[in-house]
Amino acid sequence: MMKTFLFALLTTAATAFVGPHREVRSSMALQEAKGAEAISALTKDLEVIFTSEQVDEILPHRYPFALVDKVIEFEAGKSAVGIKSVTKNEEFFQGHFPGQPVMPGVLQVEALAQLCGVCCLKSDGVKEGSIFLFAGVDGVKWKKPVVPGDTLVMEVEITKFNAKFGIAKAKGKAYVNGGLAVEVGEMTFAIAK
């Protein structure tokens, strides 16, 4: 499972989201890696832009509703790539569904929205202490379930952003094990002080 996660993280996050300016380790190197130290070394070049603690300074969300663990790629007001590690201890798994836990689709969309919040709230022209409010969503497609032990690798692109008027629009995708889990055609936000 760890190799599957690393392969997904390295190929999906680095290739699809981060772009050609980052070195991507080959799948062969991943398959040849043995043991925790060797597997861990494959992610050594993966830069963390915002840690969980730094995300907490940007967003007001707290456990159990904080859905961005870290940000690994970031361009203020334009795009971001973030990670949510989905554990069996998530409170929503108690009722969704007992014996066959699945992360609710609306929380997958919320995780993408929170990543948009980080992207916009850290932009020039946004007043300190502003909050990011989800105003609408359209074109959502769920492709595969997200279950305990998965790592949700999310990418968002801000398609419209006006800090002065406090509006933003974005689109996003989230992947699990190299496969598309959810795609959102458009999210709309209001930024308020």
pLDDT digits (tens, 9 = 90+) for 6-42: 444 444 444 333 443 334 444 556 567 778 888 788 7
- 104/139 same-domain check: yes
Q: How many domains does one find in the chain?
A: 2
Percent of the chain with pLDDT over 90: 75
Q: Is the pLDDT of residue 1 over 80?
A: no
Count each helix (H run) and each strand (E run) in the chain, helices first.
5, 6
Phi/psi region, residue 98 (left: phi>0; alpha: psi -120 to 50; beta: rest), is beta
90 pLDDT above the threshold of 60: yes
Report whether 158 contacts 181 (CB < 8 A): no
* Residue 193's pLDDT band (cuts 50, 70, 90): confident
Same domain, 12 and 53: no
Q: What is the mean pLDDT of the chain?
A: 87
Same domain for 24 and 58, yes or no, is no
pLDDT at 6: 45
Whether 11 and 82 map to the same domain: the answer is: no
For residue 185, give the CATH number of its domain: 3.10.129.10
Integer Cα distance of 166 and 127 in angstroms: 10
Q: Which residues, including other chains, have CB under 8 Å from residue 23's CB and lie 6 or more apart?
A: 14, 45
Domain span at residue 112 reads: 47-192
Using DSSP, state whether 68 is helix, strand or coil.
coil
On the question of pLDDT at 45 being above 90, the answer is: no
Q: Catalytic residue numbers?
A: 96
Residue 4: pLDDT above 50? no
**Range of lowest pLDDT (39-43, 55-59, 188-192):** 39-43
**Which residue type is seen at 137?**
V
Phi and psi angles of residue 173, each rounded to the nearest 5 degrees, phi first: -140, 150
Q: Which two tokens stand for residue 37?
A: 């130290």
Residues 104 and 10 in one domain: no
99 and 24 together in one domain: no
Position 80 pLDDT exceeds 50:
yes
User: Domain check: are 160 and 76 in the same one?
Assistant: yes
Give the pLDDT of residue 30. Answer: 58
The whole-number pLDDT of residue 62 equals 96
The residue among 45, 93, 85 whose CA lies nearest residue 69 is 85
pLDDT tens per residue across span 93-146: 999 999 999 999 999 999 999 999 999 999 999 999 999 999 999 999 999 999
The whole-angstrom separation of Cα 96 and Cα 147 is 10
Put residue 116 in one of left, alpha, beta given phi > 0 → left and psi -120 to 50 → alpha: alpha
pLDDT surpassing 90 at residue 147:
yes
What per-residue confidence (pLDDT) applies to 29? 62
Residue 50: pLDDT over 90: yes
Cα distance between residue 109 and residue 19, in whole Å: 23
